[in-house]
Amino acid sequence: MNQRNRNLRAFFKQLGQSIVFWSVAMTLFAIFRYYGLSAEEGITTGEEHQESRVIPIFGLFGLFIGLMGAVIEFLLDKYLSKRVSIGFGLFVSGVIYFISIIIISTLTLELTNTLYGLEINNDKGWWRQDKTFWVVIIYINLAALVLSFIQIANDKFGKGVFLKMLFGKYKEPKEEKRIFMFLDLKSSTAIAEELGHLKYSQLIQDCFYDLNEVVPDYDAEIYQYVGDEAVLSWPYQKGLTNNNCVKLFFAFRQKLLEKKDYYSVKYGTSPQFKAGLHGGVLMVAEVGVVKKEVAYHGDVINTSARIQAECNKHKVPILISEKLLNDLKTDNLFVTKYLGDVLLKGKQKKVNIHTVLTNA
């Protein structure tokens, strides 16, 4: 999948989520504020506040906000988030959102007046003295905080994990079958000594940013970053589907090759990574109180890490256990080569390992 298709896929996914969230949020606002209001004793409302009209209007307003929000967030994430601090990014997005909401509100009022034959004021500067507008602004900010919390939680715990934690799925250890990939920067010590701490940290940031652009295409979850190493994981069947667990490595390698000139100019080197893959049954549990996270325990993780450590010895970029390879449906894009059985550090039984070559 090329970069353009990845960007389109990411945008439309974000667009759908944004439209659903804001349409529901603004419909709920209309229900909370206006539903049954006209039936309350001693309260009279204008014609424009009838529920049959107000709720669809705010639902439409939410749809427009969802469209606008998806475009703003996508552009800011792509062109601004890496270049500025979080605080400045929030300030810029806040200003853009505020101006956009004024424009959307004006257009919504104009459409409402046309559809229902009303005469709600939407003249230039109408929003300055409109109390409902400022109530809506406050509500939108609160809803945006909820949305940001959900997004941050998903980024922190990984796709789908936050909801499982929310409902206490991992309060007690659970058994799961998963695939793990340990992905490590080659010659990291030499590169760090050459670049120095600052430049080296920037290099790792750039590499992992590029990794995150590839990860969604192959249904992977990023479990941990440990120094210059990333640990990726898949539910077992998702990792096997379309050979996702292997294809991700080659897609990431291709991404780095496409940006070879960028890395060479900025860092004087072209980063390369090595990977170890293994899968099987292990335990997953929610651990910690202050810095809570989902942790995986079992031989699968240890074996994956130790397989990756064998890459330098065998002078190959990727190694995979025979057990996992037997479950994959290798196609004509890949060629595998048996490298023998090795006694991995800390293991009593030898593990058969293979390397994977691509014909693409």
218-277 pLDDT, tens per residue?
989 888 898 899 999 999 999 999 999 999 999 999 999 999 999 999 999 999 999 999
Spatial CA neighbour of 251 closest among 276, 218, 219, 204? 218
Give how far Cα 340 sits from Cα of 174, 276, 320, Å: 34, 15, 12
Beta bridge partners of 181: 232, 277
Q: Can you read off the two tokens belonging to residue 339? A: 């490298």
Give how far Cα 359 sits from Cα of 252, 321, 332, 335, Å: 16, 20, 7, 7
Q: For residue 233, which amino acid is it?
A: S
146-172 pLDDT, tens per residue?
887 777 777 666 666 667 777 677 788
Q: Can you read off the two tokens belonging to residue 297? A: 């325990």
Q: Where are the chain's structural domains?
A: 3-157, 161-358
Q: Can you read off the two tokens belonging to residue 167? A: 């409902």
Could you give the CA distance from residue 201 to residue 261 in angstroms, rounded to a whole number? 19
Question: What is the per-residue pLDDT for 230?
Answer: 95
Token pair 């080569």 in the structure block, residue = 337
Under a CB-based contact definition with an 8 Å cutoff, are residues 102 and 140 in contact?
no
Question: What is the per-residue pLDDT for 204?
Answer: 95
Spatial CA neighbour of 324 closest among 299, 300, 302? 300
Question: What is the per-residue pLDDT for 305?
Answer: 92
Those residues of the chain that have pLDDT short of 50 are 40-49
Task: Say whether 298 sits in a helix, a strand or coil.
Answer: coil
Angle among Cα 163, 169, 175 to the nearest 5 degrees reads: 125
Query: What radius of gyration do the chain's Cα atoms show?
Result: 26
Residue 32: alpha-carbon gap to chain centroid: 32
Fold that domain 161-358 belongs to in CATH: Alpha-Beta Plaits (3.30.70)
Question: What is the per-residue pLDDT for 48?
Answer: 45
Question: What is the per-residue pLDDT for 169?
Answer: 74
Question: What is the per-residue pLDDT for 4?
Answer: 67
Question: What is the per-residue pLDDT for 181?
Answer: 97
Residue 341: alpha-carbon gap to chain centroid: 37
